[in-house]
Amino acid sequence: MSGGLTFLDRPNSYIGRSVPRPNARRLLEGRGTFVDDVAVPRLAHVAFLRSPVAHARIAALHTAAASAMPGVLAVVDGPALARVCAPWVGVLGHFKGLRSAPQHALAVDRVTWVGEPFCAVVARSRPEAEDALAAIRADLEPLPAVVDMETALDPGTPPIHPELGDNLAFERRLEVGDVEGAFRDAALVVEETFGFGRHTGVCLEPRAILADWNAADGLLTVHHSFQAPHMMQDILAKHLALPEGAVRVICRDVGGSFGIKVHIYPDEMATCALALMLRRPVKFVADRLESFTSDIHARDHRVTARMAFSAEGDILALDMDDLTGIGPYSVYPRTSAVEANQVVNLTGGPYRHGAYRARARVVLQNKAPTCQYRAVGHPIATMVAEGLLDLGAARLGLDPAAIRLRNVIPDDAYPCAGVSGIRLEKLSHQAALAKLLAMMDYDALRAEQAALRREGVHRGIGLSVFIEITNPSAAFYGVGGARISAQDGCTIRLDPQGGVVAAISVTEQGQGTEAVIAQVVATATGVPLGMVRVVSGDTQATPYGGGTWASRGAGIGGEAAWQAGKALRANVTAVAAAILQARAETLDIREGAIVDAATGVERMSLAELGRIAYFRPDTLPAGVQPEFVVTRHYVPKDYPFAFTNGVQASSVEVDVETGFVRLLGHWCVEDCGTVLNPLLVDEQIRGGIVQGLGGALFEHCLYDSEGQLLNGSMADYLVPMAGEMPDIAVAHVVSATASSEIGAKGAGEAGTAGAPAAVVNAINDALRPLGARVSRQPVTPETILEALGAI
């Protein structure tokens, strides 16, 4: 680094500062541009006929009446659409044995879940399209529905896709160390079956896509509420048989995503195909009711697990069996095997036991497809280990904090491998635990709990130690054959007035990606933050990259921006040196000016340099060619993933008469390496925690035995609201990754990873004196009353 400065002590560093997001202002004024806000001439609207049953053969579709309705432009069924849009299969090479069946944008001969689209109406307006939907008659012949994942593999259960032979999509087994021996010799073995209800993302802006085929330009322009524009471009090109350059995907403001908006959805592919077929722009905005049946769902796991302890409280071994139902298809292109795979990789990951056995089975069923949603697998893995640990601690008479401090991999043991084989560069469980216990005043809280218990008030404290996968390399998807970029790039251009424009391939959905990139670019280039513009979310305007998912935006996109910024600074100082007849290494750029690096004295403003370079290049010394546009890319290479860690605590009061739980407080200490912007990171953590609390206490996609979703509206599907959520204290330990210069790891999923285990452990801590415990999420008042034997 020039001048021997690190990024933190560069004189005008914005890194580590709580800078408000420059791009938030427009959102505060209602001036964002979400897909539904994009104005396009001749826009047509599509609405989809969705299966009302879980599994049926499409015998006939009668669409003539609908076609004749006012405003209707086209009624298109599955076979017609399949002539334009090729089907896909959601499998990856590195998940050995993973199987699924070809999936069409509109179901062709069978519908396989309630909500699967199988016919499209395009009309001049959405109300007219919906009017026409009501006039379509579909003859559906019922087929047996596979609903319960527990019986999906029974010999008597018919396979959803007969060509697969059964409903097992994927199975993984892992055995490390002498598991049998450890359980045989253990002083204590605890066992529990954990249930994780199916839930979904409920992005406040529903999924939305607008596809505009301009045949004259040979360009399909797609406005998409999405996280990964280049991935979408690649897949559209492949399945619509277009060259890559004929597809442009633009993701402007995105109203929440959380992993929901990174998958290939049949209705969205159909919308793009319809734009090609009709040669006019077509828009699809999922309404809230169809969001519940057509957005991906997540979780839906049942884990039976046991943990072996020594008499002193050392974890000796962990043995678990995970079963998960993923719907009728593995979702394209990331597949629906990832969550179970992560459960296997992560369970018990913070701890130093040497024996581990895991089996995960992923089964098909006639419910909405599941796939990656925020903190994929993490809340499950964390709950299993943390729940068992608390059971063990209680049986051994150990304090929950003490047993964790005893068992975590010590902070001085890194780098090392976790029991499942995961490679850990640098974690900080001990420091994080110590900080958390001090921050929450653990001992005082315990004393208060004991005093209140004597008065019949049932409070509980729950702890949850977790690890999080961030900054994935190509090991996540690329090695399995998915064309999902693991590398990202940043292009920075110095403009004549001395400002810069940075185009970045990671994307913004509100987490603050653009703000963080701006901070990094300002720091690296020496340009004031207010003169940095960031462009993202446009396949034609940014370098090629993966977008934002798996907590990768800051760590990977940020490093690309840092490297590009440094390179631009070097180019700019070189030209300045030529003009000033100084040696480049004696110059720096600070606050928008070329300065003497040693003294900080200004030598020349960037605006003056820009003027010369762009408008009077004739005055430059011979042989000097300014290159004021620089692109750099970054992909993590040292480790497959940058693991982070953290610990959360929850304090609750349980009304043992009603089963209602009041959240009194929540604390989180986490370690995402370099904290680029504490304001943004802390809110990522808080938002993630509340999503985790939602899954733990409220959110549940409830199906009946016929495969009907029973609570698919916002009134019936309960997401956490302000009135029930606690204030949340957040703090950090910093273990920067050495894989990059900025040292940032991800933080987007830490909150969701650890919150459910913390709150469920707190509830069980409150219930323990009453001899009751809960293990099935969401933990509702009814669950608690049943555990207490009150009903």
Partner 1 sequence: MEREHAVAFTLNGERVACRPAARTHLGDLLRAEFGLTGVHLGCEHGVCGACTILVDGRATRSCLMLAVQANGTVVETIEGLTERGAVADLQDAFHVRNALQCGYCTPGMLVTAAELLAEEAAPGREAIRAAIGGNYCRCTGYHAIVDAIAAVAEGRAAREGGGA
Partner 2 sequence: MKAPEVAYACPSTLDEALTLLSRHGDEARPLAGGQSLVTALNMRLAAPALLVDLNRIPDLAGITRRDGVVRVGAMTRHRDLGASDLVRDHLPLVAAAVPHIAHPAIRNRGTLGGSVALGDPAAELPACCLALGATMVLRGQGGERRVPADAFFLGLYATAIAPAEILVAIEFPLPEPGAVWGFQELARRHGDYALAGLAATARRRERGLDAVRLVFFGVGDRPVLARGASAALAGAGIRAAQAALDADIDPPDDVAVKGRTRRHLARVLLGRVAGGMLEGAP
CA dihedral sign, ordered 363, 364, 368, 369:
positive
**What does the alpha-carbon distance between residue 455 and residue 448 come to, in Å, rounded to a whole number?**
11
Distance in angstroms between the alpha carbons of the first and the last residue of the chain = 67
Residue nearer to partner 1 on the CB measure, 499 or 751? 751
Q: Which residues contact 612 (CB under 8 A, 6 or more apart)?
A: 579, 619, 620
DSSP per position, 79-103: HHHHTTS--B----TTSTT-----B
- Asked if 715 is part of the footprint of partner 1 (rule: CB under 8 A), the reply reads yes
Binding site partner of 540, from partner 2, partner 1, none, Cβ cut-off 5-8 A by kind: none
- Asked if 702 is part of the footprint of partner 2 (rule: CB under 8 A), the reply reads yes
- Asked if 41 is part of the footprint of partner 1 (rule: CB under 8 A), the reply reads no
| Nearest distance, CB of residue 128 and partner 2, angstroms | 9
- Asked if 289 is part of the footprint of partner 2 (rule: CB under 8 A), the reply reads yes
- Asked if 255 is part of the footprint of partner 1 (rule: CB under 8 A), the reply reads yes
Give residues 582-611 in contact with partner 2 (rule: CB under 8 A): none
Contact segment (CB under 8 A) with partner 1 among 200-208, 401-409, 603-611, 757-765 equals 200-208
Which residue from 33, 151, 540, 658 is in contact with partner 1, where contact means CB under 8 A? 33
| Nearest distance, CB of residue 519 and partner 2, angstroms | 37
| Nearest distance, CB of residue 493 and partner 1, angstroms | 27
Structure tokens at 321: 């069996």
Contact segment (CB under 8 A) with partner 2 among 113-121, 496-504, 591-599, 720-728 equals 720-728
From residue 121 to residue 160, the character string flagging contacts with partner 1 as x (rule: CB under 8 A) and all else as - is ------x---------------------------------
Residue nearer to partner 1 on the CB measure, 40 or 580? 40
Pair type for strands 423-424 and 72-77: unpaired
> Cα separations (Å) of 593 from 124, 452, 525, 526?
55, 62, 10, 8
CB 751 within 8 A of CB 650: no
Question: Which residue carries 């527990």 as its tokens?
Answer: 150
**What does the alpha-carbon distance between residue 419 and residue 351 come to, in Å, rounded to a whole number?**
8
E strand or H helix that includes residue 213: strand 208-214
Question: Which residue carries 């929540």 as its tokens?
Answer: 666
> Cα separations (Å) of 98 from 91, 174, 259, 329, 398?
6, 16, 21, 11, 42
Residue nearer to partner 1 on the CB measure, 111 or 663? 663
- Asked if 728 is part of the footprint of partner 1 (rule: CB under 8 A), the reply reads yes
Contact segment (CB under 8 A) with partner 1 among 252-260, 320-328, 421-429, 465-473 equals 252-260
Which residue from 3, 16, 17, 36 is in contact with partner 1, where contact means CB under 8 A? 36
Contact segment (CB under 8 A) with partner 2 among 258-266, 272-280, 281-289, 764-772 equals 281-289
By the 10 Å C-beta count (0-12 exposed, 13-18 middle, 19+ buried), 660 is classed as middle
Residue nearer to partner 2 on the CB measure, 255 or 555? 255
Contact segment (CB under 8 A) with partner 2 among 129-137, 413-421, 451-459, 556-564 equals 129-137
H/E/C letters for each residue in 109-128? CEECCCCCEEEEEEECCHHH
CB 120 within 8 A of CB 106: yes
Q: In the 8-state DSSP scheme, what is residue 44?
A: E
From 613, 636, 635, select the one nearest 543 (Cα to Cα): 635
Binding site partner of 24, from partner 2, partner 1, none, Cβ cut-off 5-8 A by kind: partner 1
Residue nearer to partner 2 on the CB measure, 320 or 718? 718
| Nearest distance, CB of residue 658 and partner 2, angstroms | 6
Q: Cβ–Cβ contacts within 10 Å for residue 93, how many?
A: 10
Helices (H), ranges, 549-651: 558-580, 606-615
Q: Cβ–Cβ contacts within 10 Å for residue 185, how many?
A: 12
| Nearest distance, CB of residue 633 and partner 1, angstroms | 27
Structure tokens at 220: 């399909």
- Asked if 714 is part of the footprint of partner 1 (rule: CB under 8 A), the reply reads yes
- Asked if 660 is part of the footprint of partner 1 (rule: CB under 8 A), the reply reads no
**What does the alpha-carbon distance between residue 132 and residue 75 come to, in Å, rounded to a whole number?**
9
| Nearest distance, CB of residue 711 and partner 2, angstroms | 5
Single-letter amino acid code for the residue at 654: V
Give residues 674-693 in contact with partner 1 (rule: CB under 8 A): 679-680, 683, 686-691
Contact segment (CB under 8 A) with partner 2 among 324-332, 447-455, 731-739, 774-782 equals 774-782
Which residue from 77, 116, 131, 514 is in contact with partner 2, where contact means CB under 8 A? 131
Residue nearer to partner 2 on the CB measure, 69 or 747? 69
Which residue from 491, 511, 737, 775 is in contact with partner 1, where contact means CB under 8 A? 511
Question: Which residue carries 């396009």 as its tokens?
Answer: 40
Structure tokens at 744: 């940032």
Residue nearer to partner 2 on the CB measure, 3 or 781? 781
Total residues at the site for partner 2 (CB under 8 A)? Answer: 29
Residue nearer to partner 1 on the CB measure, 517 or 689? 689
Binding site partner of 20, from partner 2, partner 1, none, Cβ cut-off 5-8 A by kind: partner 1
Structure tokens at 730: 């957040």
- Asked if 791 is part of the footprint of partner 2 (rule: CB under 8 A), the reply reads yes
Residue nearer to partner 1 on the CB measure, 207 or 633? 207
> Cα separations (Å) of 372 from 240, 342, 359?
25, 10, 19
Which residue from 17, 94, 238, 288 is in contact with partner 2, where contact means CB under 8 A? 288
**What does the alpha-carbon distance between residue 788 and residue 771 come to, in Å, rounded to a whole number?**
8
H/E/C letters for each residue in 56-81? EEEEEEECHHHHCCCCEEEEEEHHHH
Name the β-bridge partners of 304.
193, 321
**Contact footprint for partner 1 (CB under 8 A):** 20-21, 24-34, 36-37, 39, 127, 201-206, 253-258, 287-288, 509-512, 679-680, 683, 686-691, 713-715, 719, 721-723, 725, 727-728, 751
**Contact footprint for partner 2 (CB under 8 A):** 126-127, 130-131, 134, 287-290, 657-658, 660, 698, 702, 710-711, 713, 716, 718, 720-721, 723-724, 780-782, 785, 790-791
